[in-house]
Amino acid sequence: MRIEKFKIEEHNHSLLAEHKRKFDFVAAGIDNIESFIQKLIDFNVAIPSWALGTGGTRFGRFSGAGEPGSIEEKMEDVGLLHSLNQSSGAISLHIPWDIPENYSAIKNIAAQLGLKFDAVNSNTFQDQKDQQLSYKFGSLQHVNKDVRKQAIEHNIEVIKHGIELGSKALTVWLSDGSCFPGQLNFRKAFQNTLESLQEIYAALPADWKVFIEYKAYEPNFYSMTVGDWGQSLLYANKLGPKAYTLVDLGHHLPNANIEQIVSLLLMEGKLAGFHFNDSKYGDDDLTVGSIKPYQLFLIFNELVEGMDARGMNHAADLGWMIDASHNVKDPLEDLMQSVEAIMISYAQALLIDRKKLNEAQQNNDVVAAQEILQNTFRTDVRAIVAEARLRTGGALSPLQVFRQMKIREQLIKERGSRTIATGL
């Protein structure tokens, strides 16, 4: 299904007066409001193809209804999101969960929906039914050269799919590691993984990047072979200029200072981008900004400071992706909330008075520095984010339109209540 533009215009008209009042109030205090809004308009977050259905835990999954049962329906759902918030103009495919059979048909649908193909993701953390050799004891790290070869070939196949679709990056996340002390020779596992990644790296087109995604642990694991930002950066530095470190917010040990990690990866020119989500304990893949919104703001503070220090293009020079799963929320409502949280944190980071903050830091005026950050964090920028949507044909309140138009109910009518989306 598609949302007719007039429906969104009707909705915006009904909220316009209230919106203008709020916008004029917050905009009054901002000098460069127009360039500010343009940055928000240019900023898009890619939606994961594996997070458009209901997820679950290893103990249970409570399936939703009207879920997309094919890659075409998944693109339709991302198209719905994008028509409502004008900030979700890309989809990130996970292969083999979402193998594009007919490239030109898929590209036509993407063009009609205004979608691009972001990074493609390989999967050597599951055994596929027609697979020769198992990844039970890892993939790129495996002690058996044939298993490594099989995993390398899969990654090269994923690159080929991405090239056909116009993607420019491969994301590699490995569940490789060990469950018990003594099970693995860490050095050999690292070297096997590096040699395997070098073969994958050699298959990258000149204008492509490879994103090495690290993760501290999975339940039941004693070690991960790409366990933290240091290990990922070691691989990325040894691989070469097309290799970068991808930061999934949920992949850290408790209380890790992620904003400091981001600052240093940016300084090194080795930050790939993000898998945005939020977590209370482990890799909970919860709605962005739902648990630690201040941390998200601090991360965007480092991003804006670090990107401007390197003269980077905010929208284009890093990979902006969501990686979440939905156990109790409607997947599309959850994703709308996540995109909104990202846009709010980015807008607040743009609002920080960098000159004043730098002065406070240079004068070791700790109180003033905190006041600058927290006053900005307590500034309600939602009307500015909404104004960016309004100017690009989006809805002032995407969630309100989604509910008022009973879009999930319409999708259930179209798809039935038993469709299951591949993915998490």
CB of residue 168 to ligand LRH, shortest distance in Å? 17
CB of residue 121 to Mn ion, shortest distance in Å? 8
**How many positions of this chain bind ligand LRH (CB under 6 A)?**
10
Residue 407: Cβ within 10 Å count: 20
**Looking only at residues 214 through 273 of this chain, which bind ligand LRH when binding is defined by CB under 6 A?**
215, 248
Closest CA to 233 of 196, 264, 189, 205: 264
Closest CA to 108 of 71, 67, 81: 71
| Interaction of residue 424 with ligand LRH, rule CB under 6 A | yes
**Looking only at residues 281 through 300 of this chain, which bind ligand LRH when binding is defined by CB under 6 A?**
283
| Interaction of residue 118 with ligand LRH, rule CB under 6 A | no
How far is Cα 325 from Cα 279, in angstroms, rounded to an integer? 11
**Looking only at residues 300 through 329 of this chain, which bind ligand LRH when binding is defined by CB under 6 A?**
323
Judged by CB, which is closer to ligand LRH: 118, or 323? 323
The structure tokens 């480092």 sit at: 302
How far is Cα 160 from Cα 131, in angstroms, rounded to an integer? 19
The two structure tokens encoding residue 243: 């290799």
x/- string (CB under 6 A) for ligand LRH, residues 70-99?
Answer: ------------------------------
x/- string (CB under 6 A) for ligand LRH, residues 146-175?
Answer: ---------------------------x--
Amino acid at 92: S
| Partner whose footprint covers residue 121, from Mn ion, ligand LRH, none (CB < 5 to 8 Å by kind) | ligand LRH
x/- string (CB under 6 A) for ligand LRH, residues 194-213?
Answer: -------------------x
Please report the DSSP string for 86-145 in residue order. S---EEE-BTTTT--SSHHHHHHHHHHHT-EE--EE---SS--TT-SS--TT-STT-SSH
| Interaction of residue 275 with Mn ion, rule CB under 5 A | yes
Cite the beta strand spans of 128-228 per DSSP E: 169-173, 177-178, 209-213, 223-224
The total number of residues shown for the chain amounts to 424
For residue 99, give every residue at least 6 positions away whose Cβ sits within 8 Å of its Cβ, in sequence order, or none.
Answer: 71, 161
Give the footprint of ligand LRH on this chain (CB under 6 A): 50, 121, 173, 213, 215, 248, 275, 283, 323, 424
Give the footprint of Mn ion on this chain (CB under 5 A): 248, 275, 323
